Amino acid sequence: MIDHPSFSVEPWALRETELNLDVLAQSGSVFALANGHIGLRGNLDEGEPNGLPGSYLNGLYETRPLPYAETGYGYPEAGQVVANVTNGTIIRLLVDDEPFDVRFGELKNHERTLDFRAGVLRRRVEWRSPAGRAVHITSVRMVSFVRAVAAVLYEIEPLERPARLVLQSELVANEPLPYWSDDPRTAARVKFLLRAEQHSGRDTRVVLVHSTEGSGLRMAAGMDHIVEGPPGTKTGQAESDSDLGRVTITAELEPGQKLRLVKFLAYGWSSQRSTAALRDQVAAALAEARYTGWEGLLAGQRGYLDDFWERADVELEGDAELQQAVRFALFHTLQAGARGERRAIAAKGLTGPGYNGHAFWDTETFVLPVLTYTVPDAARDALRWRHATLGLARDRAKQLGLEGAAFPWRTIAGEECSSYWPAGTAAFHVNADIAHALARYQAAAADDAFEREAGLELLVETARLWRSLGHHDSQGRFRIDGVTGPDEYSAIADNNVYTNLMAQHNLSSAADAAERQPERAGELGVDPEEAAAWRDAAKAIFIPYDEKLGVHPQAEAFAEHQVWDFTNTTPEQYPLLLHFPYFDLYRKQVLKQADLVLALHLRGDAFSQEEKARDFAYYETLTVRDSSLSACTQAVIAAEVGHLELAYDYFGEAALIDLDNLEHNTRDGLHIA
């Protein structure tokens, strides 16, 4: 756990007042900077020590084979793993020939601050080398929301006595990564290298071009520098090699003098553009950044955030810690979604390699509600990303013997990457979640053009999926059998209430939208018969109800299953999935996360207030919250049914999930959803 007292409570920043080397990987996630396109983990400028280095480009992934000891029809053969790309944050410092390393010498002061309004990560260090030379170092790091660049301002000042300084500003590709844990929720242990294609260095600029072997993507990373120092400061000619770019600056400073380095970083990637085109694109972005300058970037960043906070800020009275946590969460959600530009918003954003960088239903269900009302363009772009992968989703539906489109459970580029179908492919609700997010965006933005271009087609294809997935039984009820709902401690059940209610919404939304857009609907082949079939299915959807208990079972027969033996489950046995087989979890009444309670939230219109209260009470005792996607929903419904204390507790749990490292896996990235 991150030792919480080392974070100070303040309204508009997250400040770490002491460096704890044991939790470097966690703080690397917490202090990550991103703009939805580029993500840089909050590692130390000098590169070492590090918990888990990480630089990411949204959509830049490598493929890996998915192994099966026993194969099966329709199992995805290739997975996608977010690539750790060329690291441009590294600035090594030598003070009188001794490398600055916080593990050696004396660290008199070390403070890092993530500033939610300035949109920068500040660092302030006072260090005395083993030989006794004291220096003051500050750095300010930024990933611009406005321009496609990142930048670092790095300043050093000797204290007490003069010092000879050497700065090495680097680009490092294929940096070694630490080994992973056995926890299935972390990244896969995939080792791969970027293939060097080109490198060039000139003056203070280096560009390295690499490509991925399996996924066939090409990327360029570039850096340029502006150096200011006392007379005699010398900036060497840029060096470049396959996996390394370096610019070296030497200076001799008196106390009171400063060496100031501004480092600009630019990235570009493509599945189609040539080495030369990417190299030039990055060089151009660097030229643009030099032109704008550090102060210009800083001003742009603040302007963007002023605008954001004006719309998005949530003020809380009486709980400064939660106030900070809520702004922290909003800031990171913005960082995940801001410039996604029709790419996925991953479960961990661009803050770490957890879940292999995959996007799940979390995006539509937990991230887009925030973005829809704060940065609606980002919500629209995320939905356009789904639309861009519609062809793949149609292929997948066809492979599964279904109509319409079946979106993947987990993916980067649109192909299904889940190798465990009971908790992946069978969780078809992702399709209704996308439809629900569409309806939410549509209700907020009334974006008629978007509906015509993308929204309607998504609704139609997902409605077709549901129509072919369910069937009318002999009593006329529309059943959806053998699917998996949100709760990951259940799988392959009949008539999951959440799924059926969301499918119902999907089916009628599609029929409504087709009515609103008759021309486009006609182009998509929707005729009155088809729309009527959707409405029939929606109307007849089967919602099981347990008369004896007076509650909705999560899925048919759920309430007849044995209740989990909570009494004999020790605290060390959580999360349950690491200590009990899926077999046992699936067959008993125990929930990893809100499932029916999420239905109470998203389809609140389908329940009476009394039903909500009874259902909430029933599932409350069964939900262990081994998932981060639970407390937030439980907080909402607890508040709705009148359990305000409980709601407040859940709210705290949800808000502090990463700051307190409640899930013990913040090291792999933040829980954006």
Q: Which residues make up the interface to its own copies (CB under 8 A)?
A: 66-74, 79, 182, 184, 188, 399-401, 418-422, 425-426, 471, 473-474, 479, 481-483, 491-492, 494, 548, 556-557, 560-562, 577-584, 586-588
303 Cβ contact partners less than 8 Å away, ≥ 6 residues apart: 146
Classify residue 367 by its DSSP letter.
Answer: I
Q: How far is the CB of 78 from its own copies (least distance, A)?
A: 10
Residue 227 has φ and ψ, to the nearest 5°, of: -115, 135
Q: Where is 275: in which H helix or E strand?
A: helix 275-312
Judged by beta carbon, residue 481 or residue 620, the one nearer its own copies is 481
488 counts as catalytic: yes
**Nearest approach, Cβ of residue 611 and its own copies (Å):** 21
Q: Least distance (Å) from its own copies to the CB of residue 433?
A: 18
DSSP secondary-structure letter at 621?
A: T
Q: How many other β-carbons are positioned within 10 Å of the β-carbon of residue 471?
A: 12
Q: How far is the CB of 533 from its own copies (least distance, A)?
A: 16
Least CB distance to its own copies at residue 419 (A):
3
**Smaller CB distance to its own copies: residue 309 or 421?**
421
Q: Cα separation of 494 and 544, whole Å?
A: 10
195/588 with CB nearer its own copies = 588
Q: For 476, how many CA atoms within 13 A lie in the half-sphere containing its CB?
A: 4
The neighbouring-strand residues paired with 61 are 82
Residue 444 or 549: which CB sits closer to its own copies? Answer: 549
Q: Which is nearer to its own copies, 258 or 588 (CB)?
A: 588
- The nearer residue to its own copies, 451 or 556, going by C-beta atoms, is 556
E-assigned strand segments in 100-162? 106-115, 120-128, 134-143, 149-159
- Using DSSP's 3-state secondary structure scheme, residue 653 falls into helix
| Catalytic-labelled residue, pool 415, 488, 530, 653 | 488
Distance CA 173, CA 431 (A): 38
CA distance linking residue 495 with residue 480, whole number of Å = 5
Could you tell me how far CA 66 lies from the centroid of its own chain? 22
Q: Which amino acid is at 27?
A: S
From CA 492, how far away is CA 481, in angstroms rounded? 8
Task: Return the number of other C-beta atoms located less than 10 Å from residue 178's C-beta.
Answer: 11
The rounded distance, in Å, linking the Cα atoms of 534 and 513 is 12
**Nearest-approach distance from CB 480 to its own copies, in angstroms:** 9
Q: Shortest approach of its own copies to residue 546 CB, angstroms?
A: 11
| Pick 6 or 569: Cβ nearer its own copies | 569
Query: Residue 395 or residue 494: which is nearer to its own copies going by CB?
Result: 494
| Closer Cβ to its own copies, 71 or 567, answer by number | 71
In angstroms, what is the minimal distance from the CB of 410 to its own copies?
A: 10
- Under a CB-based contact definition with an 8 Å cutoff, are residues 210 and 195 in contact? yes
Q: Hunting for tokens 């972390």 — which residue is that?
A: 186
Distance CA 485, CA 498 (A): 7
Do 630 and 594 contact (CB within 8 A), yes or no?
Answer: yes
Cis peptide before 49 (omega within 30 of 0): yes
The least CB distance from residue 631 to its own copies, in Å, is: 23
CA 383, CA 242: separation in Å to the nearest integer?
A: 38
Q: Helix, strand, or coil here: 267?
A: strand
Using DSSP's 3-state secondary structure scheme, residue 92 falls into strand
Decide if 206 contacts 246 (C-beta within 8 A). Answer: yes
Q: Is 55 helix (H, G, I), strand (E, B) or coil?
A: strand
The residue whose two tokens read 């999935």 is: 577
CB of 394 to its own copies, least distance (A): 16
Judge whether 338 and 145 are in contact, CB under 8 Å: yes
Instruction: Please say which residue, 171 or 483, places its beta carbon nearer to its own copies.
Output: 483
Q: What is the DSSP letter of 409?
A: S
Alpha helices (H) in 366-455, listed in sequence order = 368-374, 376-388, 390-399, 429-445, 448-450
Enumerate residues 6+ apart whose C-beta is below 8 A from 50.
24, 25, 28, 43, 44
CB of 366 to its own copies, least distance (A): 22
Nearer to its own copies, 275 or 419 (CB): 419
Q: Which CB, 70 or 572, lies closer to its own copies?
A: 70
Contacts of the segment 347-350: beta carbons below 8 A, 24+ positions apart: 347/669, 347/671, 347/672, 347/673, 348/29, 348/668, 348/669, 348/670, 348/671, 348/672, 349/32, 349/34, 349/39, 349/669, 349/670, 349/672, 350/32, 350/34, 350/36, 350/38, 350/39, 350/56, 350/58
Task: Output the smallest distance, CB 543 to its own copies, in A.
Answer: 15
Helix ranges (H only) for 470-496 are none
Enzyme catalytic residues: 488
